[in-house]
Every structure is written in structure tokens, then in C-alpha cells.
Amino acid sequence: MRTYALKRGGSPLYLQIYEGIKADILSGAIPAGEKLPSKRALAEHLGVSKLTVETAYSMLLSEGYISSRERSGYFAEEASMPVPAREAAGAYPRGACTDSPGGSSRDIAASGSAPSEETGFPFSVWARLMRSVIMSGGGSLLSPAPTHGLRELREAIAGEILRERGVRVDPAQIVVGAGTEYFYSQIAQFLGPGLGWALEDPSYHKIAKSYRRSGAEVFPLKADAQGVIPAGLEASGAGVLHISPAHHYPMGTVMPIARRGELARWLEGSEERYIIEDEYDSEFSFMSRPVPSMQSMDRTGRVIYLNSFSRTLAPSLRMSYMLLPEGLLDAWDERMGFYSCAVPVYEQMALARFIHEGYYERHLRRMNRAFSRARRETAELFGASPASELFELLRQGPGLHFLLRLRRGDGGEALRSALAASGISAPLLSDMYIGEPPEDAFRTAVIGYSLDPERLMRGLNGAAALLS
């Protein structure tokens, strides 16, 4: 049996095992199709718990490095070929949610119940931290933050990335900003809109709008079940590709490793190409740990990574961060360094303490548990409901949203109105296309899970009654 030298006291053991097997698959030391040892056997061989190996295998499965065959075990996949994404961990897209005017449709705003119920936002902790920060920070809280954001917050975010993903980043690479939308415009100013911006069609509507308003030409690209199709990208002549490989909105695609490799090769094709990796909800995307970002595996130094606290805490916070590759730091500071950080200083300080004191991790765990239950209960209730005769519930994966498809009929405005009249404000999938949407997109709504599944089901049944 292949062995891996594990270093106690270093990074977590499951990460070391994951890294070891992944490296062997990528190098060909474990050829495609080879059966991996059983979890129990490998655990005994390495002298670790079965749970440790389970975690490592689960990560490899999530990313498509290995596959599982019932009653047979685990097998290495061909890393340079498209790999089927594993259902439970990825192939379920996660869809979308309500779209209020001025609001952000990727934000948590599930249908039916109030946002506070949805997010379990820890008001009293936040109020206490905010008060403590304002009273103790004194004069230092009155100067504008340095252009990258407060050092304390950038260190806390770096710690969180290490804890969540096992990736070590330098806080100097982190830039804090007033929401992801803010960064779209900033990045367009940084790279210059003339490069041409390619994005997957459909996609989150603000992405194309922001880039167009910034003066960029936008190229909508067709996608398949593995994400954006590289041939279309080459043909577009775009210099920048904006994607959400960890979990595409609204389709929910998790991009398998092979497709990522193809996009990486496109990136390597010219010095004037960039990828913007927009990871807006990875904290809720996987039952185990999230897959590594494309940026953490990139060798060109031209992948800019974005993430946000809108989904995990509250959209009203307007806080997000960007991870700049080291090679772009000087250019960023030269071109964009004159801007003040747009996030209030004491809010940054409060979030730094919220993360540092462990509240953020506990909040994420609580949220994940609550939404797991909501998803399970919604699926059970739906199966026995009158709504299930008219609708299909698609992509009910581990995310915060699902797709609801009318089995037959016209859909469109009738579907939207019936949902709205039943208290569910949901966009149609067809709203999210830049080009011409396919027929079934007009029959598909993007709906946020509610932590009150019975209430949500009353709404869906109401809409079904109106439509039948």
C-alpha cells in the first residue's frame, strides 16, 4: 500500500493525506482507474483514525480527483480529462433567491420569512463588539483605513482561510472592500475595460451590468454541466474571464478539476489574460471542506480571487475581500492605492474580533446545520405535496437555494405572478441570461430555502393552485 509521511503538529492530518493522494494522481503515480485502499485499511496503515481518511477522501471526491463506485470502493480519475462531479458534493447547482430592487439577488433573502430568521445573525454579540470597538479604539478609529483595509481584519481573514481551506495567504495580499459589486468596478479600473470580459451565460445579473458600466465589452459564454466551455472563450477574444468555479450562480455548477485545467491553459496562453474567481458562498457549498480555489493552484499569478461576507453574515454589512496574487500587488498599489478603503473602520475592527474570538466559525456551523435541516424538511414536505404534481424541485443540493421547474405549460410571467401572489418573490432563471434563454428557463424559478419549510410549502402549494 502506498504510504504518506505524515507530520504531526503541522497542518491537519487529513489535509496531508489529501495533498499526498492528489499529488500522486496529478503526477500519474496513481494512474486513472486505479483502486484506492479502503478507508479502514488506509487508516490502519497510516495509524490515523478512519474519520481522518474519510475527510481526505471526501475532499478528493468533491473535487473530482477520485470517484466512488457502490460496493467497489474508490478509484482515481483521469485528472486531465473531464471528471464527473460527485452528486452529493457538487453536481447539484444551488440556484438563487429573491431579487429586490437595489438588493443583491445572491444575498441571503429567502422567500417567505424575515432575513433575521434566515441568517440567525448574532445581534447581541455584534452590538457588544461594535460598542466595545468604538469605546476602546479611540482616535485610531477616526482615520480612514489604509487602502487595503485594517491589518487586524486582513490577518483574521487570512486565519479563516487557513482554518477553512488549509491555504496559507499573506495578509498583504488581502484587500477589504465595500461588497463584491464594488470590486467589480475596481478590478475593471485596475485591468482596464479594454481587455474584454467573458462570463458564463446565465450569471448573476450585476456582473455583466457592472462591467458594462465600467466600459467593458461583455462576452456571454455558453456553459455545459461542467461550467463555461473553453472553446467559446478562445473564440471570444476576451482577456478576462469571470467565473465562480466553486459554485456557479444560478446554475449551481461545481467546476470539475479537468475543466479548471482547461481554463488554466487558456490563462497561460497570453500574459494579457486574467481570471476573476468569484466565490460568493463557498462556506455553504460543501458538506465537507470546500475545494481549493483556482487561485491557490494557479501558477501564472493572474487569478484574482473574490469572496464576501454577504452570504455568511448579512448583505447589509457590505463587506467583501479580494485576494491579489503577489505579482499584481505592486501594480494594484500603483494604480489603485490612492483610494481609501471604502468600509468603515470600526466595522472592520468589529468583524476582525468576531472572527478572532471564534463567533464567525460558530455562526457558520449553526447556519450550516439549520440549512441542512431546512433542505431535508423541504424535500420531504415537497414530495408529499400537491405542488409536486405541477413542479419539479431541481438542484436541491447543499446550497441556500433551489430551482423550481414547472413540469409543463408556459411559465414566464404567470409563474412569477403565482409565486409572488403566494408570498414568494423569486426571479426566473430566464432573467439571468445575457443572450437568449432556453425554453425551460422561462419555466424555472430560483428560490431561496426558508428556515420555516412549512411556510415555504404553503407558498408553493398556493402557487400551484393558482397555476392549475
CB of 190 within 8 A of CB of 313? no
Establish if 426 lies at the interface with a copy of itself (CB under 8 A). Answer: no
Neighbours of 463 (CB within 10 A): 27
CB of 354 within 8 A of CB of 187? no
Q: Which is nearer to a copy of itself, 84 or 115 (CB)?
A: 115
Q: Return the range that interacts with a copy of itself (CB under 8 A); candidates 49-57, 88-96, 251-259, 317-325.
A: 317-325
How far apart are alpha carbons 355 and 363 in whole angstroms?
Answer: 10
x/- track of binding to a copy of itself for residues 260-299 (CB under 8 A): ----------------------------------------
Terminal CA-CA length for the chain: 60
Among 28, 33, 144, 327, binds a copy of itself (CB under 8 A): 144
Establish if 37 lies at the interface with a copy of itself (CB under 8 A). Answer: no
How far apart are alpha carbons 400 and 430 in whole angstroms?
Answer: 19
Among 145, 381, 426, 434, binds a copy of itself (CB under 8 A): 145
CB of 218 within 8 A of CB of 208? yes
Among 100, 270, 417, 468, binds a copy of itself (CB under 8 A): 100
Establish if 104 lies at the interface with a copy of itself (CB under 8 A). Answer: yes
Distance of CA 437 to CAs 187, 428, 443, Å?
Answer: 28, 11, 11
Closest CA to 448 of 363, 369, 378, 365: 378
Among 147, 236, 296, 300, binds a copy of itself (CB under 8 A): 147
CB of 245 within 8 A of CB of 275? no
Q: Which is nearer to a copy of itself, 4 or 126 (CB)?
A: 126
Establish if 318 lies at the interface with a copy of itself (CB under 8 A). Answer: yes
Establish if 330 lies at the interface with a copy of itself (CB under 8 A). Answer: no
CB of 401 within 8 A of CB of 447? yes
Q: Could you tell me the three cell numbers for 330?
A: 505592486
**Residue 431: which residues within 8 A CB-CB, separation 6 or more?**
99, 205
Among 39, 86, 148, 260, binds a copy of itself (CB under 8 A): 148
Establish if 205 lies at the interface with a copy of itself (CB under 8 A). Answer: yes
Q: Could you tell me the three cell numbers for 162?
A: 487557513
Among 38, 67, 68, 185, binds a copy of itself (CB under 8 A): 185
What minimum distance in Å lies between the beta carbon of 207 and a copy of itself? 10
What minimum distance in Å lies between the beta carbon of 318 and a copy of itself? 5
Establish if 466 lies at the interface with a copy of itself (CB under 8 A). Answer: no
Establish if 101 lies at the interface with a copy of itself (CB under 8 A). Answer: yes
What minimum distance in Å lies between the beta carbon of 434 and a copy of itself? 14
Distance of CA 281 to CAs 184, 305, 334, Å?
Answer: 17, 13, 31
Name the pairing type of β-strands 303-308 and 240-243.
unpaired
Q: Could you tell me the three cell numbers for 214?
A: 465600467
| Binding residues among 338-357 for a copy of itself as defined by CB under 8 A | 338-347
| Local structure of 364: helix, strand or coil | helix
**Residues interacting with a copy of itself, by CB under 8 A?**
100-104, 107-109, 114-117, 119, 121, 123-124, 126-128, 130-131, 134-135, 138-139, 141-148, 178-179, 181-182, 185, 189-190, 192-193, 205-206, 209-210, 213-215, 310, 314-319, 335-347
